[in-house]
Structures are given as structure tokens and as C-alpha cells.
């Protein structure tokens, strides 16, 4: 019996710029950094806007409900904005360093819209 040869996917050599592992490491570092930065930025923003410290224990019923909701909205928005900015910065650095988009990221400029189907004519019965 002859053995079938399996076709192996082309692997990028280790240490080559633009590797998937390098991007994963950079992405994870950006996520951790964004999380730490976001906590500081949201706390500072809250203190600047209200001149008070942010609610420490949001589960405590003694805290004003409106203040807890406002903190959640402001904090959540700032966290997501910070993450987006940090990840965009990391991707931009990656593109400048390697000349390619990070692994798994598709270019929005080369995506072509799906071709539209021609309008169908409806045949009507004559009366």
C-alpha cells in the first residue's frame, strides 16, 4: 500500500517580521496596557467632572443609584475608547514596522462590494 503524502501549510520561519506570534504578543501587551491606562483615565475624568472620587463600591445600596449609573456609563465609554486608541496605535506601529497589516486583519480599502443583481421584471397578467 502506498502512503498518501499530506500537503503541509507553508509556515513562516521563526523570527521573521510580521509573524503571528509577534502580533499576538504585541496585541496582548496592548490590551493589558489599555486596561491599566483606562482605569486611570476614567478615574481622572470622573474626578475632574464631579470634583469627587469615583464610587468605590458600586454594589453598595448606600451609593446614589444615578451616580453609580453615570460612573458605569462614563467609565465604560472611556475604557472602550482607550482600548480602541491603543489597539489602533499598535496596528499602526505594526504596519510601519513590517509594511503589512497585522495577521488576521483585512484591509478595508481592497474589499469590493458584492455585485448587485439586475432588477427582475415582473410579468403581469393582462385583464
Domain boundaries, the chain: 20-98
pTM of the model: 0.62
pLDDT of residue 51: 92
pLDDT of residue 58: 79
pLDDT of residue 73: 92
Among 106, 105, 102, which Cα is nearest to 19's? 102
Low-confidence stretches of the chain (pLDDT < 70) are: 1-18, 110-122, 127
Amino acid at each position: 500500500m502506498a502512503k498518501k503524502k499530506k500537503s503541509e501549510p507553508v509556515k513562516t520561519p521563526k523570527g521573521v517580521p510580521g509573524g503571528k506570534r509577534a502580533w499576538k504578543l504585541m496585541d496582548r501587551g496592548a490590551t493589558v496596557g489599555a486596561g491599566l491606562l483606562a482605569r486611570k483615565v476614567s478615574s481622572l475624568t470622573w474626578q475632574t467632572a464631579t470634583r469627587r472620587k469615583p464610587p468605590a463600591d458600586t454594589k453598595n445600596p448606600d451609593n446614589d443609584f444615578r451616580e453609580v449609573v453615570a460612573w458605569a456609563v462614563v467609565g465604560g465609554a472611556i475604557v472602550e475608547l482607550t482600548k480602541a486608541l491603543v489597539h489602533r496605535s499598535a496596528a499602526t506601529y505594526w504596519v510601519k514596522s513590517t509594511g503589512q497589516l497585522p495577521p488576521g486583519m483585512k484591509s478595508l480599502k481592497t474589499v469590493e462590494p458584492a455585485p448587485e443583481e439586475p432588477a427582475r421584471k415582473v410579468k403581469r397578467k393582462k385583464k
